[in-house]
Amino acid sequence: MMSTYSHNPPPASAPYEERASWCDAYVGWFISQVPAEDPQPKDARPTHRWETEFEYGVVDPEEYFHQTQYELDLAQEDEDAREERMH
């Protein structure tokens, strides 16, 4: 079962530093919850996924949070379905 993230995102109107601070912490947590499905290309930096998620999320943290929570819900449903098939 996946854990939940307890810090609310700042609005898009918040200062950049506030949005960036929240995104820095949240993106690391989010990536740990949903590992990449595809292998990373050999020419990509190890931080590529984090950088991509951060740049997307820092623009509007609230919207990013809602979108990623939806992704987490889908991942949890997939995990639950796999466990049910095993029993």
Report the number of distinct structural domains present in the chain: 1
Q: Indicate whether 80 belongs to any domain.
A: no
pLDDT score at 3? 67
Joined tokens for residue 35: 């590992």
Q: Are 23 and 57 within 8 A, CB to CB?
A: yes
pLDDT score at 8? 94
The range of the structural domain enclosing residue 58 comes to 8-36+45-74
Joined tokens for residue 77: 């449903």
Q: Indicate whether 84 belongs to any domain.
A: no
Q: Indicate whether 83 belongs to any domain.
A: no
What are the tens digits of pLDDT across the range 16-63? 999 999 999 999 999 988 877 777 788 888 888 899 999 999 999 999
Class of residue 34 by CB neighbours under 10 A (exposed 0-12, middle 13-18, buried 19+):
middle
